[in-house]
Structure 1
């Protein structure tokens, strides 16, 4: 059993959100990465695609998720399973949100605007 202490959580700030890694291979071995995402009211994440499925559980607040052109409204207590390789953008509601997200460790994300830059975000390493 691996135990990842609160003091070992990694915090990554982007212009749109704060991701706190709760479990990942770099923190003691895991096939799954788990992180907390916090967005301020009205903030928008970049339009991108993930190479693996992600599971988002909203702990507080509201958000709109544009998934392949379909808009989904999510609120505290809702869980969304976002499939791999479908463009998405998450926009925080007026009061922002906090969600816990899980995805396969090492998953790549990429820009849907024509660039083929595939990266592994810091919070899933």
Structure 2
């Protein structure tokens, strides 16, 4: 049984966020990627278009999730799904750090506003 130990999970930092990568092809998954995203208070997310579906569960703090022209405030325990092709960003609207568990299918990629295609290392 593959077990990914928290102490051994790689951590990546990008766009004022920290990504701890747990489940991905490199750790034995063939269909799913799962990571934790941490945002410091006052973080304004960088908008990007996702090419595959993405699901979020807020576990600590508070965030505002922007999906296209809609936005929703999330509190701990809330979940949200962003459809493929949508433009998303996450802001930490609270005074404490926020943490989310995020999952996507293997093969996930995104496009930044300048058209740069990104396959994040925490999802590959």
Determine if the TM-score, normalized by the shorter chain, exceeds 0.5.
yes
Q: Identify unmatched segments of 5+ residues in structure 2.
A: none
Q: Which runs of 4+ in 1 moved over 3 A?
A: none
Q: Compute the RMSD of aligned alpha carbons.
A: 1.3
* Equivalenced residues, count: 123
Q: Report the TM-score, using the length of structure 2 for normalisation.
A: 0.91
Separation in 2 of the partners of 1:88 and 1:104?
17
1:119 alignment counterpart: 118
Report what 2:44 is aligned to. 44
CA contact (8 A) 2:39 2:98 kept: yes
**Farther-moved stretch of structure 1 (1-10 vs 64-73):** 1-10
Long gaps (5+) in structure 1: none
Deviation at 1:63, TM superposition (A): 0.5
Within a 5 Å distance, the mapping from 1:16-35 to structure 2 comes to 16-35=16-35
Aligned residue runs from structure 1 range 1-125, under 5 A? 1-94=1-94, 95-111=96-112, 113=113, 115-125=114-124
TM-score w.r.t. the length of structure 1 is 0.91
